[in-house]
């Protein structure tokens, strides 16, 4: 996929792959909603509008080339994330959250 | 080795879980929060307007949208790529929505325009107008009824159509337009302006891309433009638009390095033969099942 996305393959005639993030009307932050192909960044925003905001989902769109995303490897899951699993004192669970705080 | 972006549907990467967003689905407004473009609008025909003429004007605007929508919908599953397939059908749906409101307004202004339905048919007036009129009764311009060519032909046609229609709709929402004194027509136009602005942006960007893309894409675009341009005069006359349209078209032509075509307008009027075939396909189901409820 990364070869195709970067256009490095001589066989590649496909547009690069973009990942799409949409912020909902009353949502908190941009959320990954899917991916699509587009020739350039501007076209990717418009394609994202057409493909992912048809049902009134969004008020803001981010797109980024999939090839530009660096992701953690599933093989590193344990060394990266397991150490946080037993540190309950890092969670703010010892406070009472007021009722009028909507998103916590 | 690189990896794809995190999958939000995967249990390890989800951000849709209840802990973060709660169970309040209004975050995403799926199926909620839709706006009725005619909410609170007075539907009485203003005394200063002739109801028959208003109906005729609404029919013309509605038929253009209906027929263009149908031609665009023929791209469904046939577009060059999935994203543009959805884009073209989105535009078709926007136009179908305009058609529905405009045909309903025509029927409300002058009920005599609505054709008689087979007995027992529950079809609403806008469906009666769309599916039970003959070709000669449609008031759309010929530009929108031409059979589809390739994608470049569709882009050239769409650019001309939505540029002219947007100019007319922008005028309809101002006091300068006599028809704008109909509050329903003004409300439909206000909704349409936002839609058409996007359609024009879509068509304009593709026009430029095809013109400045490859030799083949440019060849196809110029061929498409040449085949629709002779119907440009009829379109402009129907919408009574002026130099504001040329400002836009000349700008698109300039950045695309495309000469404004100098082709004689197509003569005659009425409809093309292809329009009858299109209508036959569009109307066949409704006519075969006049008692159907959709």
Q: What is the pLDDT along chain B (294 residues), one digit of tens a residue?
A: 344 444 444 444 444 445 444 555 444 444 445 678 888 888 888 888 999 999 999 999 999 999 999 999 999 999 999 999 999 999 999 999 999 999 999 999 999 999 999 888 899 999 999 999 999 999 999 999 999 999 999 999 999 999 999 999 999 998 888 898 999 999 999 999 999 999 999 999 999 999 999 999 999 999 999 999 999 999 999 999 999 999 999 999 999 999 999 998 988 888 999 999 999 999 999 999 988 887
Question: Which residues does A18 contact at the CB level (< 8 Å), separation at least 6?
Answer: A35, A36, A37, A38, A44, A47, A48, A63, A64, A65, A66
Best residue in A31, A69, A77 for a mutation probing chain B (most B CBs within 10 Å)? A31
CB contact under 8 A, A55 and B30: yes
Contacts of residue B15 in chain A, CB cutoff 8 Å?
31-32
Contacts of residue B81 in chain A, CB cutoff 8 Å?
15, 37
Total beta-carbon pairs less than 8 A apart between chain A and chain B:
88
Structure ipTM over 0.85, yes or no: no
Q: Is A32 an interface residue toward B (CB < 8 Å)?
A: yes
Best residue in A50, A73, A76 for a mutation probing chain B (most B CBs within 10 Å)? A50
pTM over 0.90: no
- The candidate with the shortest Cα–Cα distance to B207, out of B243, B168, B153, B261, is B153
Question: Which residues does A61 contact at the CB level (< 8 Å), separation at least 6?
Answer: A20, A21, A22, A23, A45, A48, A49, A52, A53
């Amino acid at each position: 996929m990364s070869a195709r996305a970067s256009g490095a393959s001589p066989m590649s005639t496909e547009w690069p792959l973009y990942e799409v993030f949409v912020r909902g009307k009353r949502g908190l932050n941009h959320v990954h909603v899917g991916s699509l192909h587009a020739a350039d960044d501007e076209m990717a925003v418009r394609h994202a509008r057409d493909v992912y905001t048809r049902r009134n989902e969004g008020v803001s769109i981010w797109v980024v080339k999939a090839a530009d995303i660096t992701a953690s490897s599933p093989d590193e899951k344990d060394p990266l994330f397991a150490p946080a699993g037993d540190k309950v004192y890092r969670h703010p669970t010892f406070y009472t959250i007021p009722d009028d705080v909507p998103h916590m | 080795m690189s990896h794809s972006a995190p999958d939000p549907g995967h249990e390890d990467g989800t951000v849709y879980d209840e802990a973060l967003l709660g169970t309040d689905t209004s975050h995403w407004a799926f199926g909620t929060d839709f706006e009725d473009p005619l909410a609170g609008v007075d539907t009485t025909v203003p005394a200063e307007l002739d109801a028959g003429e208003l109906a005729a004007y609404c029919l013309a605007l509605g038929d253009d949208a209906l027929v263009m929508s149908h031609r665009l919908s023929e791209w469904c599953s046939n577009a060059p790529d999935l994203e543009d397939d959805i884009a073209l059908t989105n535009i078709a749906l926007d136009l179908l929505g305009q058609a529905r409101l405009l045909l309903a307004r025509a029927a409300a202004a002058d009920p005599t325009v609505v054709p008689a339905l087979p007995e027992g048919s529950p079809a609403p007036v806008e469906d009666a107008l769309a599916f039970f009129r003959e070709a000669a009764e449609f008031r759309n311009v010929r530009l929108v009824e031409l059979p589809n060519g390739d994608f470049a032909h569709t882009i050239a046609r769409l650019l001309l159509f939505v540029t002219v229609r947007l100019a007319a709709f922008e005028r309809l929402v101002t006091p300068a337009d006599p028809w704008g004194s109909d509050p329903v027509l003004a409300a439909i136009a206000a909704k349409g302006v936002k839609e058409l602005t996007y359609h024009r942006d879509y068509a304009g960007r593709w026009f430029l891309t095809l013109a400045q893309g490859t030799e083949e894409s440019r060849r196809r675009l110029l061929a498409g433009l040449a085949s629709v341009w002779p119907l440009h005069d009829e379109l402009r006359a129907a919408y009574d638009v002026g130099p504001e349209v040329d400002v836009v078209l000349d700008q698109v032509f300039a950045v695309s390095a495309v000469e404004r075509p100098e082709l004689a307008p197509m003569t005659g009027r009425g409809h093309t033969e292809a329009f009858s075939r299109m209508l036959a396909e569009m109307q066949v189901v409704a006519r075969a099942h006049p008692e159907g409820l959709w």
